[in-house]
């Protein structure tokens, strides 16, 4: 490791969250992490709670009754919203990170048009898809059900 | 030395599996009033009769275990990424890997048991 | 705005390791003239107010990559940032984050250079004799040149590293510049070093902690687009991991033009000294 007597100046967590001056993809990156953590927390509990279906109808019903009520409905809807975002943005990320949606190398002529600009329509499309799924979910959760 | 490339490739592959089967799961559970699929007994998708009807098939327990494995790997790898990017000391890096692996294996065992046992219970009813 | 502006305020983050316990901000007012860059302003501050102010700069034309700094919260080159384009008369200048501060606006770029060196950013070939004592030029078509030309404009200023969210917390991540440059050589048709670099890139030195926040490409003053290079590199590495990548042989020597002689009176080139 290199020796240095300099003063540390790493941005740390602010470097992850720092928005404001940054572009759309930075917010999508942050949201992808937050929704991922939320979905994982729900999923781990979900495995435990739904395992009761293997025991008996009574245990299943008791487990389901313990997670009903308006608070749980709203909570579940938030999970659905997180799923819709994470899934739609995930489709974009697979296409981008496997190099299919970043464009070919080009001659950099000012004003530069980068891979971030190239994939922007995909990012917007993914967000429109996410909002449509969220709205369908909202309709099912709060209007039709 | 291939570890990171291998884990990342599996992470993406698991994401695609999740997209298909969690998409189906969400459609069955939360778009039931709009789509109304795989709820043979009518009513709510989590009603016991519907749970039994799905549990009786081979498709649901098998894809459930597939989704379980893919989602646990995808989610826990994502969490590991976030934790390792926080630059913990070397001993903690190792410990994070071990703990997440044990949590993943434990929950996979529980979930897989539940899928098989509920299939057995549903077919016996 | 710039037509009517006569003065600008520079807010500069100072740090002298021999005197200061922590960095601190100082403000200076300097006269403004149209066409002034952030670097011109720094010289004015040094001339009028703070003779001890330290920064790194050289070419003042966006070529050397010395004057990367955090300008109004965004990494960029002081020499090719016009004060008028900032849209305010307050210019806040700090050293590039994610690097240790040597003094005032001087970042310690050595970790980046070291990460760059480790990934072998040079042509690797088996024919060492031809490489060391060349008898001709390696063939490359204009199309093959385009595969890497954009990435070869990198001036190693470190702006991308300062903008990268992963590098903000994780010093073991190679970062956008070294990874982009590894791809620049991987995608050069004259290079045969993919397998050697892959040994490193498959592991934690690789691109796997890039999640396409896109900041590196957004701030790159040369339009190099490191994010594009990194995603293209991921595809190559994943294909290689799945054994679906077609191995390429590095290009051979270009055919020498025939029937062309040296015109009379033109001296021979001197013997190589390196």
Which residues 102-121 of A have a C-beta within 8 angstroms of B? none
| C-alpha gyration radius of chain C | 23
Residue A60: closest CA among chain B residues belongs to which residue?
Answer: B48
Task: Quote the pLDDT of residue C166.
Answer: 95
Domain match, C115 and C236 both: yes
Distance from CA of B114 to the nearest CA of A (A): 5
Domain ranges of chain A: 24-144
Which of C107, C142, C166 finishes a domain? C107
Q: Which CATH number is C46's domain given? A: 3.10.20.30
ipTM here: 0.94
- Give whole-number Cα distances, C218 to B99, C15, C203, C214, C223, in Å: 37, 28, 27, 6, 8
Per-residue pLDDT tens for A89-133? 999 999 999 999 999 999 989 899 999 999 999 999 999 999 999
Residue contact C169–B86, C-beta within 8 A: yes
The pair of structure tokens assigned to C198 is 């892959």
Structure tokens at A112: 């530069």
- Supply the DSSP symbol for C66: -
User: In the numeric block, which tokens belong to residue B63?
Assistant: 């894809």
Residue C188, domain CATH = 1.10.1060.10
Model pLDDT, residue A1: 46
Q: Does A115 touch chain C (CB under 8 A)?
A: yes
Please give, rounded to a whole number of angstroms, the shortest distance from the CA of A121 to a CA of chain C: 14
Partners of residue C31 on adjacent β-strands? C7
Residue C258 has pLDDT above 90, yes or no: no
pLDDT in tens, A13-32: 888 876 546 789 999 999 99
Q: Is C159 left (phi over 0), alpha (psi -120 to 50) or beta?
A: alpha
Q: Which domain holds residue C234?
A: 110-241
Domain count, chain C: 2
> Of C107, C135, C160, which residue constitutes the final position of a domain?
C107
**Contact call for residues A88 and A31 (beta carbons, < 8 A):** no
C147 and C166 both lie in a single domain: yes
What percent of chain B is modeled with pLDDT above 90?
84
pLDDT at A19 (0 to 100): 52
pLDDT averaged over every residue in chain B? 94
**C220 with C139, same domain?**
yes
Residues C165 and C207 in one domain: yes
**B24-38: pLDDT as tens digits:** 999 999 998 888 888
Pairing of strands C101-103, C24-31: unpaired
Q: Given a contact as 3+ CB pairs under 8 Å, which chains touch C?
A: A, B
Q: Is C171 on the interface with B (CB under 8 A)?
A: yes
Give the count of beta carbons closer than 10 Å to the beta carbon of residue A49: 14
Query: Cis ω on the peptide bond leading into residue A111 (within 30° of 0)?
Result: yes
If one compares C260 and C38, the residue with the highest pLDDT of the two is: C38
Identify the structural domains of chain B with CATH numbers, from first to last.
3-124 (1.20.1300.10)
State the smallest CA–CA distance between residue C73 and chain B in angstroms: 22
DSSP, collapsed to helix, strand or coil, labels residue C10 as: strand
What does the pLDDT read at residue B1?
Answer: 53
In this complex, the residue of A40, A137, A144 whose CB is nearest that of residue B78 is: A40
**Span A51-62, average pLDDT:** 94
Q: What is the mean pLDDT of residues C117-133?
A: 93
Q: How far is CA A46 from CA A133, B26, B71, B72, C155, in A?
A: 21, 13, 12, 12, 50
Asked whether the predicted pLDDT for residue B63 surpasses 70, the reply is yes
Spatial separation of the C-alpha atoms in residues B33 and B44, rounded to whole Å: 9
What pLDDT does A21 receive?
A: 63
Collect all residues of chain B within an 8 Å Cβ-Cβ radius of residue C241.
Answer: 2, 5-6, 9
Q: Do C236 and C121 sit in the same domain of this protein?
A: yes
Which fold is adopted by the domain A24-144? Answer: 3 helical TM bundles of succinate and fumarate reductases (1.20.1300)
- CA–CA separation, B31 vs B35, rounded Å? 6
Mutation to test the A interface, candidates C158, C214, C220, C229, most A Cβ within 10 Å: C214
In a domain, C247, yes or no: no
């Amino acid at each position: 490791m290199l020796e240095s007597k300099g003063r540390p100046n790493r941005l740390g967590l602010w470097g992850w969250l720092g928005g404001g001056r940054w572009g759309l993809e930075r917010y999508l990156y942050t949201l992808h992490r937050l929704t991922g953590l939320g979905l994982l927390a729900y999923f781990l509990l979900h495995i435990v709670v739904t395992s009761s279906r293997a025991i008996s109808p009574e245990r299943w019903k008791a487990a389901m009754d313990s997670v009903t009520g308006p608070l749980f409905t709203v909570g579940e809807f938030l999970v659905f919203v997180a799923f819709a975002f994470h899934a739609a943005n995930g489709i974009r990320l697979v296409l981008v990170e496997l190099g299919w949606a970043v464009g070919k190398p080009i001659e950099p002529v000012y004003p530069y048009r980068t891979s971030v600009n190239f994939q922007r329509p995909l990012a917007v499309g993914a967000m429109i898809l996410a909002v449509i799924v969220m709205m369908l979910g909202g309709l099912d959760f709060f209007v039709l059900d | 030395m291939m570890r990171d490339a291998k884990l990342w490739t599996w992470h993406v592959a698991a994401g695609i599996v999740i997209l298909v089967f969690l998409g189906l799961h969400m459609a069955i559970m939360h778009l039931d009033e709009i789509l109304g699929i795989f709820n043979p007994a009518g009513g709510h998708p989590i009603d016991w009769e519907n749970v039994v009807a799905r549990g009786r098939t081979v498709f649901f327990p098998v894809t459930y275990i597939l989704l379980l494995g893919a989602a646990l790997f995808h989610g826990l790898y994502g969490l590991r990424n976030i934790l390792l990017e926080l630059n913990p000391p070397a001993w903690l890096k190792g410990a994070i890997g071990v703990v997440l692996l044990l949590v993943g294996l434990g929950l996979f065992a529980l979930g897989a048991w539940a899928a098989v046992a509920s299939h057995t219970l549903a077919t016996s009813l | 705005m710039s037509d009517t502006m006569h003065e600008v305020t520079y807010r500069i983050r100072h740090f002298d390791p021999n005197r200061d316990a922590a960095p601190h901000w100082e403000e200076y007012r300097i006269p403004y003239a149209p066409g002034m860059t952030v670097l011109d302003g720094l010289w004015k501050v040094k001339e009028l107010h703070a003779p001890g102010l330290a920064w790194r700069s050289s070419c003042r034309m966006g070529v050397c990559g010395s004057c990367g700094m955090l300008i109004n919260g965004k990494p960029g080159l002081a020499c090719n940032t016009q004060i008028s384009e900032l849209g305010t008369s307050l210019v806040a200048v700090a050293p590039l984050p994610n690097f240790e501060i040597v003094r005032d606006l001087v970042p310690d770029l050595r970790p980046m250079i070291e990460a760059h060196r480790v990934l072998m950013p040079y042509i690797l070939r088996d024919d060492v004799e031809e490489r060391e004592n060349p008898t001709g030029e390696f063939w490359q078509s204009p199309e093959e040149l385009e595969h890497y030309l954009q990435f070869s404009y990198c001036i190693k200023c470190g702006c991308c590293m300062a903008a990268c969210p992963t590098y903000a917390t994780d010093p073991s991540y190679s970062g956008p510049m070294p990874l982009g440059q590894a791809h620049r050589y991987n995608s050069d048709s004259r290079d045969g070093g993919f397998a050697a670099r892959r040994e490193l890139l498959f592991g934690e030195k690789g691109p796997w902690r890039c999640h396409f926040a896109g900041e590196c490409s957004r701030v790159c003053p040369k339009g190099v687009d490191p994010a594009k290079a990194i995603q293209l590199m991921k595809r190559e590495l994943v294909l290689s991991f799945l054994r679906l990548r077609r191995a390429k042989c590095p290009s051979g020597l270009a055919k020498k033009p025939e029937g062309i002689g040296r015109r009379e009176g033109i001296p021979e080139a001197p013997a190589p000294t390196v």
